[in-house]
Each structure stands twice: as C-alpha cells, then as structure tokens.
Structure 1
C-alpha cells in the first residue's frame, strides 16, 4: 500500500500556522503494470513482451516513486508529473481497460474508495495529486516575504489550472462513477479556492509593498468575490458533507474578512482624498462586517475551534484596527470636517482587481512536447503500434466482410440459387436426361442406390426402426417400474399412518406425496419425451411404408434397377423437330453450367482479393501523417480519423457491383430462352406417355433416396437419444427404490416391530387376515424374505 496509506502526514493541509488551505491528497494501493501489460502485448498485439521489458519496469518504478513519499517538495512534484506524462502517452498505445485494477481513496474521506480497470481513472487521480502538491508547495511559502508570496501566487495559479483541466478534459473521459472529490462541484470549488488564495497572495504582497490603499482595496474586493464563489461551489450537491466543515467555515470568515479589508482600505483612500463623509460610511460598513466575524468566530465555540488560530488572530487584529479608525473618523468628522455621511446603499461598489488566473503548467497540459527531454524522459512503448490501429484494422475487416461476403458474394449466390430454382421448376435436366438416356440411370440415382445397399437397404432401415421402437418400449417399461415402486410405497405409507393416534410419530410422518414431487416431475418429463419420440418413430414408419416399393428396388443391383425403369428405346419420339429442340435446350443448359462455373471462379477471385487486402500498412501511414501534423507525440487517435482510408480502400470493390448487375441481366435472358425452349420440348413429349412415365419414375427414385437418407439419419439420432434416456431412467428407478426402502425401514421403526410382524400389522389395519398362508403373492411384503418392490435390471 502506497501513497500516504502507511502513516499520515503531520498536517495534510500544509502548515497549520498558515492562513491558507492546501488540497488533500488522494491515497492509493499498490498496483503493478508489468504482468498485465506483458500478457496484453502478447495476446492482442502479437509482439514479444520481452522487447518492452525495460519499459514495463520503468513504468512500475514511476508509479511507485510518484505514490510512495510523504514529503512535499519539487522533486515529488516532478516525479508525479513524469508519471502523468508517461500515462498520457501510453494511453495512445493501450486501451484504458487493459485489465489493471487501480484503487484510489477519497481525499476527504479515507473510508471511501473505488477500484476500476481504467487507466483514465488512474490518470485523473494522479493529476488530482499534482494539483494538491502545487497547493501544498504554495502553503509552505512564507507570507512575510515578497519573493515567497510571488512563488505561492504561481503555485496556487498552477493548482487552479490543474483542477480546471481535470474537470473539463480529464474526468469526463473516465468511464465509471467516481468519488465526490473528483466531482464537477468539488473540482470547481477547489479551483475557486486556489484562485482565492492566489489573489490573497497578491493582497499580501500589495500590503508588504505599501501599494496605494485604493489598489489594495480593489485587490481585497476580488479576494472576497472569489471566496464567495468558492462558498457557492462548495455548497452544491453532496459537497457540504464532503468538504471539511472547517474549510467551509474558513471560506465564510475569509469572505467577510476581505470584504471588511476592502472597505477599510477604501476608507483610507477617502481620507487621503478628503472625502471625510464617505470615509465614515465605509469605516462603519467595515466595522459592521467585523462585527459579523465576531459573532461567528469569537462568540461561537464551534467556529472558534474549527477556524485556525492564525485566522482568528487576523480577525481580532482587523477588528481592533477598524474599530479604532472608525471611532477616530466619526469623531474627526463630527468635530472638525462636518462632511455629510452618505448611506451605505449609495456607496459606489469597489471595482475588483483580478490578477489570479487558472494557469495549467505546459508540461501538464501538453506533456507530449516534453517527452524525450529530461523532465519526462523518453516515451515508453514508443515502438508499439497504438491500440487504435488494431481497432481500425478490425473495423475495416468487419466492413470488408459485410461488403464482400454478405453483400457481393451473397448476391452472386442468390443469383445462382434463383437459376437452380427455375431449372428445378422446369424439371431440368432430369426431363432431358430421360430423353437422351432412355435406358440406363442418371449418376445421382446410381450413387444413391449404392449408398442404400451399403446401409443394408430397406431391411436395414426397418431393423433400425425396430430397434428404435424396442428401445422406446424398454424405456417405458423402466419408467413403469419406477412408478409402480412409488405407488406401492404410497400404499404402505397409507397403512402405516392409518388409525395412528393423534400427535404420534406415525401421525406426524410426512406423506409420500410430499416427498416424491421431484421424482414424479422427472417421471412426467421422461414420459413426455418418450411420447414425442414415439410419435417421431411413427412418422418415420409411415415414410418407410409409403416409399417401400422404391426403397426395395433401390436395394437391388444396378442391372435389376435398370430393368425395372421404363425405357423409350422401343418407342422413340417421331417428331422431326425433336432433335433440334433437344439440341437447343442442351445448348442452353451448357451455357448455364459455364455461367455457374465462371461465377464460382469470380467468387474465388473476390475472396482472394479480400484475403490479401491488408489495411494495416495504410493505417500506419495515415497515423504517421497525422502525427506529423501534430506538435506533440501524444496524439489521441480516434476511429473517425481513418474514415477516408476506409472509403478509399473499399472503393476498389465497387466494380464488382457492376459485374453482379451484368450477371443478373445475362442470367435473366438465358432463363427466358430456356423457358421458351422447354415449352417446345414439353409440346414434343405430350404424345409420348412412356417417356412421361419414365420421368415420373426417375423423380420417384430421387425422392425415395432423399427420404432414405432422412430416415436413416433420424433413426440413428433416435437410437443415441434412447441410449442416453435409458441410462437416466435406470438411475431414476434406483432412486425410487432407494427411497421406498428407506421409507419401509422408517415404517418398521415407527411401529417398533420386526419385519415378520409388520405384514401382519399392516394386513390387520387393512382388514386382511394375518399369516403367511393367507398372504397375496403380489402383496408388498413377503414375511419370509426381505422387502422387494420390483426386480432390478
């Protein structure tokens, strides 16, 4: 555990004798970059993490150095700024949620902490502490030396600039809910506090330099105005419960103090200009304001304890000074000058003179300018390709995949599918094959018949069906046995509890129905599954019966199949135009084959072009171009900066849209020609019934082959299902028998009798005669042997 978690500093707000307040520090717990970043480099960047071993070590050392000291000096400031600058740079190399957990505590509540995997969060907390260091360095400076006050003035302005930067540019990039010390209200309050105290340093220096009272009054008026803004910001939201009460009390006292100071100094200026009446009015106003401070601090014990002693002393000295000067001014005017005293409402407001400004040190606002110099050191992970390049490459791949696969290739596949659909609707090329090959069989039927024979033909399919039906029956039998076991146990339970004395253990015994809900639910689930499986088996049986004649033929040899298929050899078509019609239709179908083959080649070419389309080098060139235009190496790359690159790279695929459009036109014309030729072909065949018979027979055989494959697949799948469910059912049956046996033994214990006596008792309770000679052989128990509910498999 690091920053200030080891031992508290003597005074976290700076010098307790100072009238100025310093921002508190955020504390943190130990965090190591080395392993997480090494793993990320290896997995996401495909680079050897060993090449960045020194950078990883230095980064961990920077964090430790920035968060492990209690002393406040310029060296601590430099270490924090160096770590912050390197964080800014590596955020251009890695994603913020790289997998490293950062834990930071609320600066104003040590019990409040949050842990996030967010390097933006880490950067914000480090920057907060840089602002706190600036404020503490300012508080360490003397208020009695003009040079020290000048330094403090600069430190407070820097602190205000840090909190301004944190609020408007850094915290907004954090991706999680932060503690209240990083809220917009708190950062505004801290910025205003730093500006108030910077202006207060100007006032102190003005007093030491004996500046004109009129100018000192204007400076003091600005201090009061800034403290008023701090009070307003510190009272927003939940900050009233976050900012220390002593701080809020100090803000209010300081506002009153400098309001009185502005009026006192302006009164002194009026005295110098002989405006005695106005002097009296302003002295009285200053005295009234001092009275308010007196009521708050000197008359209220809580306030006197919460306000620092040095501030209370300042208020006392001011009250004494203003009171004495007010008495003098009133006396002199009443006795000597007799100048009319204006009312307070008519006094001209003192125009504030603001010198304090929020000034973010350039090394913090633009750390990239200082990378490579002594202040921040060489940039870490300089050779690592920024993470955004990987994101951009991935985004381009997604867009390319969408364009190539889901747009261009999908459109070509859709054209081909449309073409095949049209040919199928025209029964082509089967109708043409039936004419050209009046004897013999198409290759698809021959291959299908070989497949059917290799699987045992129709008989093999029926054996599979019989196996499935048998498995279903065996599974139902096991389920029946389980149900019978539970039924017998329930009957026994009813006899045990019958006529049981009220309040006895037998009467209190849980009923079987209460204990078997789970088992019966499982039975119902298995019964439904078996019923559904049985219905599927029945559907498969109907398919087999419907196509049995074709399947029986397909189970025969090729010669036998050819003999059974109708042939047109003995009765050829006599239409003199038939040959010309067939030749033309055959030519069109050949053109379809060529078109589809060339289309497949085009698709392969398109896939090859897409596979070789590596956008990473172009993205790197664009990144270098953007970096060259920037004055800092810490350039926050955004994906939208590469949109022009994406458009240029994807533009080369535009020509494929034109190709697809041309393919669609060619296919439309070709299919129209095929429809026309097919119509003529159909007319030529209308007077040849044997040819139609052959075509229908071939179609039936094709369909039977498909049905065989579907049935075979479904039956094999069903047998695997039955094997699994049968194992589960046996386990269920064993559970039922174990349950019944345990209940039986419990029943014996409740009755307090032996096994042989129990049958007689139960038989008597059920109205049956006792004795083994009169027992039903199907009864639950046999007195001569152990309890047996059902036979185990």
Structure 2
C-alpha cells in the first residue's frame, strides 16, 4: 500500500522554474477495494444476491485503480478521473455514504498529513480535487507564445477554477469527516481565485501578442492585478499562510505588483499616443514605484529571491528596466519639449478592469447524469439496485404505521376496555351477579386458580419457597461475614508485623493491608447492600404471605372444602319476580359488554393483519419511477421529504379506525350508563339479603388471594434464581479474600523468620484494628422495588 502511494507521488511534481504559472499538486491515496464490502452490504441491507452485481463491483474497483494509479497530467488521466467521479455521483444515489469502506487521502500540500474515513462523499470530493489539479497542470504546460496554446490554457484554468469553486460550494459540505486543510473552504477559495488569475493572465498574453490597443491591454492587466490581490487576501485566511506551498505567497504578491506596473505602463503608452504627456510621466512614475516595491521585497529578504522562480525574477527585472528607460525618456521630453504639469500619482484616474476569465466547471462535472451511458462515463453501475433512500423511506413508513396502529389505535381500544373493566370492578361486577346466579358452588376463575395453587403445594409450597429465600439470604450474609473476617484478621496481623520494626527493615516497608484490600472491601460493601435490599424484599413477601395465609391454605384445600367455606344463598334465594327481572336486565347488559369485548378482540386482530400486509415498497418504487421520468438525469438524489404525500395517502386507510374508536367510545359510555342504572336497582333488591353480600365478599377475597399467591410465587421463584447466581458470586469473593489472607499470612511468617505453627514473641500483643471502613453503595439495578412485582437480578 505504501509502495502504491510512493509510486503515485513520484509523478506528482509540478514545479517548473522556467514557468511563471502555478499548478496544484495531486492528492495521493492508498489502495481501497470496494468488492467485498459492497457485496456484503447489498446482501445484508438490500436483501439482494450480490452475485447479480459481480460485474459492477469489478468495474468499480477497476475505475478507482485507473483513476488513482497514475498522477501524470494528461487527457487520459483526466478522462479516467472524470469517469470515476461520474460513477461515484450515481452510486451515491444507490448507497448511503457509509458502507464500511475506509478511504485514505493525503494532503496535496502537506503530504505527510492524511484523512481517513468511511464516507463515499469524501472519496468523491478527493477525486474532484484531483480533477481540478489536472486542469491546472494542463494549463501550466501550455506555452505563452502563440494564441492556440494561450486559448487552451485559458480554457483549462477556467475549468480548474470552476471545479475548485464547485468543490467548495457543493461537494465538500456533504463530507462527514474532518478534512485536511487542502480541502478547507479557505484553501479552495484561494485555489479558485488563483486559477482565475492565471486564466485572465492568458487573456493579457493574448492581447499583447495580437497587439491590442494599449488602453485595452491596461484594463486587462488591471483585472489580472485585482485578481492576484484577491488571491493574496484569500491565501492569508485561517492557517493558509503556513499551509500553501513554499514560495506561493511571494509569487502572488510579486505577480500582483507586476501587473499593477504593467497596467500603468500600458496606460502611459496610451497617454503618449493621445498627447497626454504629463499623465504619461505620472503613469510611468506609478509603474516605477511598483517595480521598486518588487525590487525592495527581493533584495530586503533573501528568502524571496530563493523561493521565487527564475522566470518571475527575469520578468520583474525586464519590466523594471523597460519602465525605468521609458520614464527617463518621458520626463526628459516633457521637461524639454512639452512642459505639461505632471499630476500626482494619487490623483490619476483609476484604470477600469476588463475581466474575461470566469469559473466554468465542465458540464460533465456539474451534471454527470446527462453523460451516463455515453462513451465519457460508460453505463451506470448498479442501475438495477433500488436506491437506499427507498429502503429508508420504507423503514420510516413502518415506524409511522407502527406508531399509528399500535401506539394510537390499538392502545386507544385497549384503554377503552380497561376503562370498562375499571367501572365494572368498582361495581363489584360480575361477582355480585355470580353470587346470585350461582348461589352454590364456585365460579370457574376461582376453580382454575385453586387448582393452580394446589398443584404448587398451596400454603406449604409458598412457605417452603419463602423459607428457602430467607435461608439463602442468611447464607449470603455468612459468606460476606467470612470474607470480611479473613480481611480483618489479615489487617490485624499486618499491624503486628509492622509493630516494633526498624525503619530500614523489610517489615516496615511492607505494603499496608489497606492498599491491597480496597477492591475486596468495595465488593463486600456492594454485595452487603444487595443482600440487605433482598432481605427487605423477602420481608415484604413474608408480610404478604402471612396476611393471606388462611386464604392460601383454603385455596390449597379440596374443592368441596372451599365450597363449604363460601356462604351459600340456596337457603334464602331471591324469589321476587320483580327482583328476578332486575337481575335479568343487569345480566343482559353484562352479556352485551362481553360481546363488545369479543368483537374488539376480533377488530384488533383484523387491524394487525391489515398492518402486517401493508407493504409500501411497490408504491415507493412507482413513485421513484415517476420522479425519475420527470428528471433529465438518472442521478436522482432522493430525499425522504419527497415521499411525504405518499406516506399520507397510504396511512389514510387507517383513518376509518379512528371513526370506529369514536363509535365504540360512545357505545361503551351508553352501555356503562345503563349498567350503572341497572346496578342501582340491583343493589336495592339485594340490600336485605345478608348471605348474598357475604358470598360476594368471600368470592372477591378468593379472587384477590389467587392474584396475591401468583405474585408471591412468581417473585419467590425469581428470587431463587437470583440467590443461586448470587451464591456463586459470593463464594468466588470469599475464596478470593481467604486466599489473599493466607498468602499474606505466609509472607508475614517469612518476614518474621518464623516457621509455620510457631508464634514470634513480638506478635503476642496486637493493637485493635479500626473497623471504620468506607463502603460504597451497590448499584441500584441489583435490588428489588417493593412497590413493583418482585424481580431478582444477578449482580
């Protein structure tokens, strides 16, 4: 890879002392392969077989290799780079910028500095920079002695300026990485201005060769000077003064002064032709002043003479001699013959500039889509691949549909049903009806719940789980105590080893226990907090079990025993026909509510089925084709907002469900009002029936007890898994503390020169170890929240 860059850089040399024109160096790169990464991306993100694009992948790699393998400025290299740029522009309408391919490009002016990122926009920008560099180098290689060469150079520099301008205005802003300074806004603006300077300079050379009027040549030279002055200003922005190639700033400043002098000299020749002898002298004096400024810069700082090209120095010298000669002649003639007053230089009328150079990026750069399929760019690669934005649009539609269907519509239906249940529970329905309609026996819900409790061992089973949890908590505490005890004993022994030791003894310099046990003690503190919170949660469950113990015991009994404990109204049934009519009406409303709930379940299933079958992809493809038919180029940069109307049209089919929900809300409100009225009459009818009220209360208590048993059972089983995991962690912690303490004990014996089993004399007295240790709190996600269903988690 380094060899590839080295070979490319070897041809990247644009310095030419015999030329007064500046050219831009190429950016160099390292080898990058598209094939594997793009194939994997097509398979994973587009769900298409990458084999269908085997040729496209091969051609893309060949295009990059051809565009970056050689950096000699010629028409073939230019065509290869333009072709690669055009295909990149089209590919960016198919793939996202980040396709897991890293591109590395080096700074054109600081070759050791590079930028690396996974960004196709960055790759395209770097290629476009080199296209501008090629145009600049082609222009610099043209001669300045014939009109044909000057015309070609003029065109090249204008195109270079257009490329750098387009790169700065449109392309660089799309890059998603920190670029090198050669791609900064300041640098690209300076390069555009430089290319315009040199294009306008070609116009000046051409005007001199064709012997245009001196007045026009002066105007053209003034424009050249203005452009060079603008370039000097832009080259001083930001950090460019230390970034542009060595000698460029000096080159630009001398060129600016040179053409100021040229403009004044040419204007003086026009004054001579029109017999304005005093102004002629003033113009030549102004030109002489500019020449003197160049001379002062070169002679004052030898660095200038070393860094300026020989061609520039020769031009400046020849100009200075010519201006000096003409100035001497004009002053003599005016003093002796014409005797016209010489105006002050500052009072001379400005020479209006005449600008012909403009930034003109080639059409194939500005709109490469028009050239796809032609010989210039070749057929578009990955033409059959659906653009990535279509996948994004489909995903966005799915998100919006999910929000509408699940979060809005289905949630609204579920909320309606929940509101209905809440009202019925507040009226103790249907338990109150079941107590009358089934004066003996148990409702199915209680029978099923009792069978579950009986299968799990009833009260004895839940008590066994609770006892196990409490025992596990106690065992965890014992393990923590054992771990801490080992550390405390080691700390006491460490103090005894250190006690009475001389300062230079190894015993005195032994690492203190506290420095080595911080991590262990922090772990112990953390787990103590976990175990304490688990103990509190166990206590909460125990309180719940104790409160409902008699109900748990009853529900674990045989069915006939439960039925005997529930009051029966068979001995005193409601026989009043009016009362029977009230009960019947209430039951009818309850039946309607049950039917309403069943219909809602069916409606929700239907809505989910419609949503699952709703695929917007065909409609998106049709919309893409419609937009493509309206476009003059196959390079379509689709944006998600272009599909907003289609999204709205597709989601409109779900609006009828909002009307359904409104109708359900209204029907439920009316039905619940009827239930409330019927329940009032029902309450009056049964007010004188104490056994009925007792039966209702008993059934309600059994329903609640079943819920509490299920909660306690779930939490205790979850807790058992938690304690199993916790036990393994605590055993590991305890063993680590014990092993550490044993190792330190053996080390202490060695330091004291005592064999195992012996007791050194100076270890007889042991100061008490302070137990004040800081213990950090445990993470909150390792505990139970008593207000929520109990859930254990592994620390």
Query: Counterparts of 2:682 and 2:584 in 1: how far apart (Å)?
Result: 10
The 5 Å alignment of 1:61-460 reads: 61-298=62-299, 300-460=301-461
Match of 1:761 in 2: 761
Query: 1:465·1:537 contact (CA, 8 Å) conserved in 2?
Result: yes
Cα distance, 1:278 vs. partner? 1.6
Structure 1 position 319, deviation (Å): 1.1
Query: Does the 8 Å contact 1:15/1:140 carry over to 2?
Result: no
User: Contact (CA 8 Å) 2:495, 2:766: kept in 1 or not?
Assistant: no
Distance in 2, matches of 1:671 and 1:481, equals 63
The equivalences for 1:566-605 within 5 A come to: 566-605=567-606
Shift of 1:298: 4.7
2:475 alignment partner in structure 1: 474
Per the TM alignment, residue 130 of structure 1 is displaced from its structure 2 partner at its CA by: 0.4
The superposition leaves residues 524-568 of structure 1 with CA deviations (integer Å, 9 ceiling, x where unpaired) of 333333333333333323322222222222112112222221100
1:698-756: CA deviation from partner (whole Å, max 9, x where unpaired): 11111111121122222222222222233333333323332332233223222223335
User: Structure 1 CA distance, aligned partners of 2:405 and 2:613?
Assistant: 13
Q: Distance in 1 between matches of 2:581 and 2:249?
A: 105
CA distance in 2: counterparts of 1:539 and 1:754, whole angstroms: 53
Q: Is the 8 A contact 1:180 1:186 kept in 2?
A: yes
Between stretches 323-332 and 661-670, larger displacement belongs to 323-332
The whole-number CA distance in structure 2 between the counterparts of 1:462 and 1:12 is 88
Q: Give a deviation string over 1:557-604, Cα, whole Å, max 9, x none.
A: 112222221100011124431110111011101111111111122112
Specify whether residues 107 and 706 from structure 1 end up closer, same or farther in structure 2 by C-alpha distance, changes over 3 A only: same
| Per-residue deviation, 1:760 | 6.5
705-714 or 389-398, larger mean C-alpha shift: 705-714
Between the aligned partners of 2:453 and 2:599, the Cα distance in structure 1 is 34
Q: Is the 8 A contact 1:156 1:197 kept in 2?
A: yes
- Aligned runs of 1:498-509 on 2, under 5 Å? 498-501=499-502, 503-509=504-510
Greater displacement, 205-214 / 433-442: 205-214
Unpaired segments ≥5 residues, structure 1: 768-793
| Structure 1 pair 488–628 and aligned structure 2 pair: CA distance change class (3 A) | closer
Larger displacement relative to structure 2 (632-641 or 475-484)? 475-484
Three-state SS of the structure 1 residue aligned to 2:23 is coil
Cα distance in 1, alignment partners of residues 676 and 558 from structure 2 = 37
Residue 247 of structure 2 aligns to a residue whose secondary structure is helix
**Unaligned 5+ residue runs, structure 2?**
768-795
What is residue 782 of structure 1 aligned with on the other side? none
- Give the Cα–Cα distance (whole angstroms) in 1 for the partners of residues 615 and 592 of structure 2: 36
How far is 1:343 from its partner? 2.1
Matches within 5 A, 1:612-631: 612-631=613-632
Q: Could you tell me the TM-score, scaled by structure 2's length?
A: 0.93
3-state SS, counterpart of residue 569 of structure 1: coil
Distance (whole Å) between structure 2 residues aligned to residue 363 and residue 763 of structure 1: 92
Residue 754 to residue 76, structure 1, CA distance change in 2 (3 Å): closer
Determine helix, strand or coil for the equivalent of 2:342: coil
What is the CA distance between 1:300 and its match in structure 2? 3.6
Q: Is the 8 A contact 1:14 1:136 kept in 2?
A: no
Following superposition, the deviation at residue 360 of structure 1 comes to: 0.9
For residues 301 and 539 of structure 2, the distance between their equivalents in structure 1, rounded to whole angstroms, comes to 96
Q: C-alpha separation between the residues in 2 aligned to 1:94 and 1:314?
A: 53
Instruction: Give the CA deviation at 1:183.
Output: 1.3
Kindly indicate whether residue 542 of structure 2 is the aligned counterpart of residue 541 of structure 1: yes
Deviation of residue 339 (structure 1)? 2.6
Partner of 2:771: none
Q: 1:283 to 1:94 in 2, by over 3 A?
A: same
- Residue 462 of structure 2 contacts residue 713 of structure 2 at CA under 8 Å; is this kept in 1? yes
> 8 Å contact 1:231–1:252 — kept in the other structure?
yes
Is residue 633 of structure 2 the alignment partner of residue 642 of structure 1?
no
What does the per-residue CA deviation read over 1:69-114, in whole Å, with 9 as the maximum and x for residues that have no partner?
Answer: 1321111110000000000000000001111111111111112111
| Structure 1 partner of 2:723 | 722
TM-score (norm 1): 0.93
Kept in 1, the 8 Å contact 2:12–2:26? The answer is no
**Which residue number corresponds to residue 776 of structure 1?**
none
Greater mean alpha carbon deviation, residues 586-595 or residues 574-583: 574-583
> What per-residue deviation string (whole Å, max 9, x for no partner) do you get for residues 23-47 of structure 1?
1211111111111111110000000
Could you tell me how far apart the structure 2 residues matched to 1:749 and 1:687 are? Answer: 91
In structure 2, the residue corresponding to 1:382 is in which secondary structure? coil
Structure 2 counterpart of 1:779: none
Q: RMSD in angstroms over aligned alpha carbons? A: 2.0
